[in-house]
Amino acid sequence: MIEKIEPKQISYIPEINKLCGQNYYKHPNGCPNLGKKGCPPNQPLINKILDFEKEIYIICTEFIVGEFAERMRLKHPEWSEHPRQWYNPRLWQPKARKLHRDEQAKAIEKNNLTKIVSSPEAHGINVTDLMKNLGITLKWEWPPKHIIENQEYLNNTVYLVSLGGHGLYA
């Protein structure tokens, strides 16, 4: 999805990037990229990167991770005691990221954009609120429940989100 959005739809505050330091599965100190190139806490807010006086687009790629996980379940029956392996990001992220890069390229070409922000949360954007403003509620349970009955696993989706616009210094 490539959709023009109004700057007022973008909720951003410096405190958002503190989420990067929060404990999560096998990462008690938060994201291992925290403090490295391209990641908080030394990143400018989005309004210092994109010109809010010009058009801004959200580039959102939906990836049905449940479909991928089902293929892993069938391919690796030995993983049945550890369903988290079916949803291992190292397995599905390369494909999802490629799809998202393709969407970004379309957005650039179609809308003559000069800047893509691939990690909006690193620049203070509350992605959960932004997506909610667009009618998409993000689910944070991980891994999601893999329900085979009625192919419920097809509801297990992830979204790769970036913003495109015109850089302030382009």
Q: How many Å is the Cα radius of gyration of the chain?
A: 17
- Residues 116, 118, 119, 125: is their CA dihedral positive or negative? positive
Close Cβ partners of 26 (under 8 Å, ≥ 6 residues apart): none
For 144-165, what is the mean pLDDT? 95
Q: Which amino acid is at 131?
A: M
Whether 14 maps to a domain, the answer reads yes
pLDDT (tens digit per residue) in 2-58: 999 999 889 888 788 778 888 888 888 888 888 887 788 888 889 999 999 999 999
Domain count of the chain? 1
Could you give the 3-state DSSP secondary structure of residue 1?
coil
Q: Which two tokens stand for residue 12?
A: 């951003």
Whether 48 maps to a domain, the answer reads yes
The rounded mean pLDDT for the chain is 91
Whether 170 maps to a domain, the answer reads no
Percent of the chain with pLDDT over 90: 67
Q: Which domain holds residue 111?
A: 2-165
Whether 70 maps to a domain, the answer reads yes
Beta-carbon count within 10 A of 158 CB? 21
Residue 92: which of 106, 72, 77 has the closest Cα? 72
Question: Which pLDDT does position 91 carry in this prediction?
Answer: 94
Helix locations, the chain, DSSP H:
65-75, 89-111, 127-133
What pTM did the predictor assign?
Answer: 0.88
Question: Which pLDDT does position 12 carry in this prediction?
Answer: 87
Whether 9 maps to a domain, the answer reads yes
Q: Which two tokens stand for residue 87?
A: 């949803």
For 155-170, what is the mean pLDDT? 90
Whether 6 maps to a domain, the answer reads yes
Distance CA 58, CA 66 (A): 24
Is 84:143 a contact under the CB 8 Å cutoff?
A: yes
Whether 8 maps to a domain, the answer reads yes
Whether 59 maps to a domain, the answer reads yes
What is Dmax (Cα atoms) for the chain?
Answer: 54
